A and B are shown apart, each in its own frame.
Chain A
Amino acid sequence: MKIEIITPGSRVYSGDIQSVTVPGRKGSFQVLKDHAPIISTLDAGTVTLADEQGTVKHFEITGGLIEVKRNRIILLADAVRQS
């Protein structure tokens, strides 16, 4: 499944991943393949994703929004710091 992490200033990350964990407003949750369509606002926190090779990457976001639809994830973040 594909993910795009976009901020107003740039495209931070885009590529195929196995899973992603995001800090949802009602608590952190993980998105795996074939997740049901969801739109959720995000709190400040860490986005953790594992890419195709299983390499884990962390991104600090200050808040944002995630949309999951048919194995396409779009994460709109206000600001991102890769850590």
Chain B
Amino acid sequence: MANLKAIRVRLSSVKSTRQITSAMKMVAASKLRRSQDAIVQLRPFAAKLEEILTGLNNALRDAETENIYAARKQTSGKVLIVVVTSNKGLCGAFNANVIREARRIMAEKYPEQAKRGDLWFITVGKKGNDLLKRLKCNILEEHSDLWSDLTYEKTAIMADRLITLYLSKEYDTIEIVYNQFKNAAVQKLTAEQFLPVTVAEKDTDDNGSADYIYEPDQVSIVRELIPKSLRIQFYKALLDSFAAEHGARMTAMHQATDNATELIRDLTLQYNKARQAAITNQLLEVVSGAEALNG
């Protein structure tokens, strides 16, 4: 029979672990709610911008509008992947999934660039940064500090940086790999092309936009709106990843708490059995001792 003291020590350690995991679960739940709110707040803005931009698509498709954000012919052969992970661990397979997807893209979509060393990464999140560093990938920049204060203004600066990298013809393609937030328990791993911009073909609603007065004119509005919508797209990706992280952590910690509870039950049972056995033993000793005296 296992020794009583050992079980007691183990039991108390598991109990304190459960306390920690259940506290983390609650913290993650409240952070999740807040980050979900942020996504909901962004939605009307993003939807309206999208609507106006789609309405302006005609101007965008006109031959005379040179769209500097669209795919271009001369290429530098370099590809940039933005990998969005978290700064902290303890959230299940959240970060590992992103890295796995990034490596898959690397192997399947851009094998030549990877061989040439023309595949670069920008990381948001310490975990992904560490993992990619260990895999000896080319890391251009790390922006893990974004997570400490996730605001539109800050992400806009980084989105502008990405846009500059594209417009300066340094990179041909910029992709973002991140976890999209589905619900608290489900994250959808997403790889999205950030630049060049893919123009949605939409002819159905052509006259819907015709009766507007455009100021200054359609082309300049489109020119101004594209970077704006890119900033929004990037902000949305980060918000999604942030909410997904907390969702993943909440689920992981919920699991951990459940496991700890089960372990505690088993250990308590073992402890009680051991205690009972010890008492029986002691009783036997007393009785047989008395028996020996009487005999």
Chain A interface residues toward B at CB < 8 A: 4, 6-11, 24-26, 36-41, 65, 67, 69, 74, 76, 78-79
Contact = CB atoms under 8 A, between A and B. Distances in A.
Give the size range of B's interface with the partner. 20 to 34
Interface of B: 38, 41-42, 44-46, 48-49, 52, 151-153, 156, 211-216, 220-221, 224-225, 228, 232, 235
Q: Is the interface of B mostly helix, strand, loop or mixed?
A: helix
Residue from A36, A39, A78 whose CB has the most chain B CB atoms within 10 Å: A39
B50 to A, nearest CB: 11
Q: Is the interface of A mostly helix, strand, loop or mixed?
A: strand
Contact of B213 (A6, A8, A38, A76): A38
A41 B213 contact: no
A39 B26 CA distance: 45
A8 B42 contact: yes
Contacts of B232: 8
A6 B224 contact: no
Contacts of A38: 212-215
A9 B212 contact: no
Nearest to B223: A41
A14 to B, nearest CB: 10
A76 B48 contact: yes
Contact of A37 (B41, B45, B48, B211): B211
A36 B114 CA distance: 54
